[in-house]
Amino acid sequence: MDASRSRIRDTSVFFPEKTHQFANLPIEQFSDLDRNLPGTYDFVYWNVWDDYLFDAPDRVDIFKMAFDRVKDGGRLMMGFYDRDPDVIAEKISLIHEIDLGASVRMDNPDGPQIMMCLDKV
């Protein structure tokens, strides 16, 4: 799922046998997955927006909803592209407070970007 139609189109090129598993849908509308789409996915990738903190109940609910869409044994992957490393650190700290399980963090050695993965067991 992606809010960008062009990204869905481009990604579908790499997985032509699974195009039915791609949808143009922003993360806030994950609850709308009753459109003949699978209810859960092996992998969910979320490019966490620069101005998005997990500091309010509605934002925590969206985060939990994204994690709920991951199959058991699957992975929620989140990319943080903020230019300020302190902002990324704050986001990750807030996610750890939610405590959905162990996470793996991968830092870009050439910039402030970070990827964090949560496995659903």
What pLDDT, on the 0 to 100 scale, is given for residue 29?
77
Distance CA 10, CA 53 (A): 28
What pLDDT, on the 0 to 100 scale, is given for residue 20?
78
With 0-12 CB in 10 A as exposed, 13-18 as middle and 19+ as buried, what is 10? exposed
What pLDDT, on the 0 to 100 scale, is given for residue 32?
67
Residues of the chain with pLDDT under 50: none
How confident is the model over 56-87, as pLDDT tens digits? 898 899 899 889 989 999 999 999 998 888 88
Q: Which CATH architecture has domain 5-119?
A: 3-Layer(aba) Sandwich (3.40)
What pLDDT, on the 0 to 100 scale, is given for residue 103?
92
What pLDDT, on the 0 to 100 scale, is given for residue 24?
81
Side-chain half-sphere of 54: how many Cα atoms within 13 Å?
A: 22
The structural domains of the chain, with segments of one domain joined by +, span: 5-119
What pLDDT, on the 0 to 100 scale, is given for residue 106?
95
pTM of the model: 0.79
